[in-house]
Structure formats: C-alpha cells, structure tokens
Amino acid sequence: MDFRIEDITPEEIDRRLAVVEPLTDSVRDLVDAVIRSQVSDDELQAAKATIDEVVASLRTRQRPGGFGTPYTREFIGMPWGNAAVGARNAIAPPLRVTRSAGLAECDMVLGAAYEGPGGCVHGGVAALMLDQLVGEAASTDGLPSFTGTLTVKYLRPTRLGALNARAEVTGREGRKTFVHATLSDDDGVTVEADAIMISPKGFELPTGDALPPPANSRADRDV
Ligand SMILES: CCCCC/C=C\C/C=C\C/C=C\C/C=C\CCCC(=O)SCCNC(=O)CCNC(=O)[C@H](O)C(C)(C)COP(=O)(O)OP(=O)(O)OC[C@H]1O[C@@H](n2cnc3c(N)ncnc32)[C@H](O)[C@@H]1OP(=O)(O)O
C-alpha cells in the first residue's frame, strides 16, 4: 500500500486543490452532460474528438499507477485519486466529509451519474459512500482502519437528489471498531449499514494526539 510522505505546506495543499477541484467538477459536469445530452450524433462525435484532444494533452505527463495517498509530516492526507472522495477523481460522488470524534457526516446532491434503478441511487454507490463514511468515523482518533465487514440494508429506494450520509462509532474491541451509518433523504433513512473496521496489526499512532483528517478539501482540514 502507498503511504508515501509528500512534505508540502497546508498553503501549498490549498493552492493545488484550488486548481484541481474545479477541474474535477468540470469533468463531473461533462459526465452528467454526456448522459443527458440530446444533441445529434454528429454533435456527439464532435464532442468525442474535442475530449480526445484534452485527454491527449493531459497524458503528455502521467503518474504511473494510481495516485496513492501521500501524507505530509503533519499527517495531512491527500487521497486525491480515491474512488469515494478523491479531489481529482470525477468518478467519486461529490462528497465533502466533516469529522469530529467518532463521527463523520456529509450532505451531497447526486445526479444522473449515480443512477441505478430509474430515478434512484445505485445500491453500489450507496454502499461506496457509507463505506467511506464508516472509515472516516472509525479513524477520527488517527488510527487507520480497513473495512473488515460492511453489512448494508436497503430500507427503501433512495431518490437521486439531496441526501445526507452519517456514520458514528458505536464501540471498540481491541483492533476492531464498530460503526453504524445511514443514508437519508428528506423523509428519513433509506439505507443503513453496520461495519466492523479493523486496525492493522502493530500500527501505532505517531503522536499521542488525534491526527488531522485526511485532507480532501480545504474545509475538511478545518474540522
Ligand atoms: C504515513 C503514515 C500514515 C498514517 C495514516 C494516518 C491516518 C489515517 C487516517 C485516516 C484514514 C481515513 C479514512 C479512511 C476512510 C475510508 C476507509 C475505506 C475503507 C476501505 O474500503 S478499506 C478496503 C477494503 N478492505 C480491505 O481491503 C480489507 C482486506 N482485509 C484485510 O486486510 C484483513 O483481512 C484485515 C486487516 C481486515 C484483518 O486482518 P488481520 O490479520 O488484522 O485480522 P486478524 O485475523 O488478526 O483478526 C483481528 C480481529 O478482527 C476480526 N476480523 C478479522 N477480519 C475480519 C473481517 N473481515 N470482518 C470482521 N472481523 C474481522 C477477527 O475476528 C479478530 O477479532 P478478535 O480479536 O475479536 O478475535
């Protein structure tokens, strides 16, 4: 696993995020536009040619493999390729997670790119978001943990639109952390999940204090 150190200042992180977050938002917008576009086939083909040009320009200098999760020496994480919260990853749902002791939460608006059953959120996307939230809640004391078991119960269909996701630690037992999470719309909970998160053997916190959360956006580091 890639835990490389990249020793940059918080100001430099903000500077880089200010460049990549709007780019990622534009790519998300592109994905949404492609799904919902009703322009002609000729216009779709012209759009492909334009997009291919942009891709070729981005590929002139590429990192091998995935982005990984670099950390600063102050343990600010930069998981910018992450499938659930990566600041550079337009496939990730638009999540801005806030964290406090044993708790992680976010509001989000899910559009056409996250559809499963017509008009509703794909069950895998719901599970992805809740998996991320349980991981973030379990690690607010700085101890990283892997999802060992995630049990997801779909109570009723989740309509696309404005949603809230929330995860809370309910207990700890040795290296295991138990977390309960919910996905809710305006009418209440649509999906609930229970997770057993496992901290890796032999991992010790680098300081006695809680670590800052992995930074995905500037706001994340302010909690
Ligand atoms: C450079 C410095 C870096 C510093 C980092 C600092 C901070 C990081 C901070 C924050 C991170 C923030 C956010 C994270 C956000 C999201 C997280 C997303 C999470 C994921 O998406 S992550 C990918 C999917 N995940 C996997 O890819 C796991 C693959 N798997 C394994 O890597 C192993 O399988 C592992 C590690 C799970 C266990 O391995 P192991 O060897 O440690 O386990 P072991 O046998 O010793 O068992 C010990 C006790 O756990 C119980 N136990 C074992 N396995 C269990 C299971 N599966 N379910 C339920 N309970 C289980 C046993 O029953 C026993 O319980 P008991 O003690 O009561 O007997």
Is the Cβ–Cβ distance between 45 and 112 less than 8 Å? no
- Is 123 a member of any domain? yes
For ligand 1, mutation pick of 198, 207, 220 (most atoms within 8 Å of CB): 198
Residue 196, ligand 1, Cβ within 6 A: yes
Q: Is the CB of 198 under 6 A from ligand 1?
A: yes
CA 149 to ligand 1 center in whole angstroms: 9
CB 123 within 8 A of CB 154: yes
What pLDDT does residue 12 have? 97
- Alpha carbon 53 to chain centroid, angstroms: 28
| Pocket lining: 202 vs ligand 1, CB cutoff 6 Å | no
- Ranges of residues in the chain whose predicted pLDDT is under 70: 2, 204-223
Contact between residue 130 and residue 150 where contact means Cβ atoms under 8 Å apart = yes
Which CATH number fits the domain that encloses residue 178? 3.10.129.10
Determine the pLDDT at residue 79. 94
pTM, to two decimals: 0.91
pLDDT tens track for 121-136 = 999 999 999 999 999 9
In a domain, 90, yes or no: no
Q: Does the CB atom of residue 4 touch ligand 1 within 6 A?
A: no
The parent domain of residue 170 ranges over 98-222
